Structures are given as structure tokens and as C-alpha cells.
Amino acid sequence: ARYCQDVGADSLLTLPELYFKPATVDDLVFYVSQVAKAAPKLPVLYYHIPSMSKVEINMPAFVTAATASIPNFKGIKFTSNDLSEGAQVLRALKDGQEMFLGADTLIAPAALLGIKSSIGTSFNLFPKLAQEILEAVEKNDVAKARALQEKLSLAIEAHTVEGPTSMPVTNLIASFSPATQ
């Protein structure tokens, strides 16, 4: 974290400790606070991805505790299918904090809940489609948003059904995919 600050990074996104996994909100707040203290000039966001990290901590409680004790805590990348918890996290955030959705197949329902920012792998392949979903939600065209979300979800499924694709194949697909134009 200190190195990132020294070389001019704009912010930090930290996973939880992955070997000695935090078991409580306090454990996770302590870990993130240590990262944040190493780079006090940078905004720090927590990367919540329980399917990969296997860290299952109550995120609304974490956000509340981190906000109270970490001055440069600025939000969360929320990569979970639990949009009920996501909505609670959104309510727990304060001014100057942000929530980024990381679950690409949930852009439309998340946007309907008020989650307006996303960081998603599939957006590199289908940026126009992702943008159209958000525009449909903004215009309250729920039917269109749902149809576009289904199109994106099927495209993601096609690209991941056999596991992660190789970069050359992904680049080839992107070169002729109308969704990327």
C-alpha cells in the first residue's frame, strides 16, 4: 500500500487477508485499517468477493465500523449475488463513499436498487450493452433493462461455460462482436 502511494496510485482496492481469514467484523476492520494506515493519503476500498475469498462477514456492519474508524475508507467493490445485503451496504455508506458492483449479471437489478457504479470483467467485451442496461434503468424502462440484462447474462455464460477463456480467443470474439462496437 505504501509503495502504491509513493508511485502515485489514485486509490487502493484491498482484498481481505486470505491466509489468516478474518472471522469477525472487527478482524476485517483491523486488517483494512492496517492497509489504510500504510497509505493514509489514498482512498481505500474493500473488495468483497466471498465466492473467491471465502470470507463471509456482514458487509453493512463492516462498512459502518470501517467508516467510523478508518479515515480514508471510501467504499466497497461488492461482488456478491446477495443484493439484499448490497442494498444494506448502500444505505450504510456516507457522503464521499462509493459502492461498485462486481457481479456483471446483476447490473439491471442492482441499478434499480440505486447501485449506479460497476467494475466488471465483461464490460471489456460488451461495454455498449452494459451502458444500454444502465440507460434503460435510468429511463425507467424496466422491460428493456431486463431484456438487455438477459442478453448480457447469456453472453457472459457463453464465454465462461468452459471456464476462463484465453486472451487471444477473447480478443478474437471482441473483434467481431456487435455488442462491442
State the average pLDDT over residues 111-136.
Answer: 92
* 112 falls within a domain: no
pLDDT at 171: 66
The one-letter amino acid code at 65 reads A
Same domain, 87 and 5: yes
* 137 falls within a domain: yes
22 pLDDT higher than 70: yes
Query: pLDDT band at 170, cuts 50/70/90?
Result: low
Identify whether the C-beta of residue 41 lies closer than 8 Å to the C-beta of residue 29.
no
* 143 falls within a domain: yes
**Looking at 71, 101, 131, which one is the last position of a domain?**
101
26 pLDDT higher than 70: yes
Instruction: Tell me the CATH number at 77.
Output: 3.20.20.70
Q: Which domain holds residue 91?
A: 1-101
Same domain, 83 and 158: no
* 116 falls within a domain: no
pLDDT at 73: 99
What percentage of the chain reaches a pLDDT higher than 70?
A: 90
Number of domains in the chain: 2
DSSP H or E stretch at residue 47: strand 44-48
Sheet of strand 98-101, all strands in order from the earlier edge strand to the far edge: 12-14, 44-48, 73-78, 98-101, 117-118
For 39-64, how does the pLDDT look when each residue is reduced to its tens digit (9 = 90+)?
Answer: 999 999 999 999 999 999 999 999 99
Same domain, 91 and 160: no
Same domain, 78 and 140: no
Same domain, 33 and 96: yes
102 pLDDT higher than 90: yes
Distance CA 37, CA 20 (A): 20
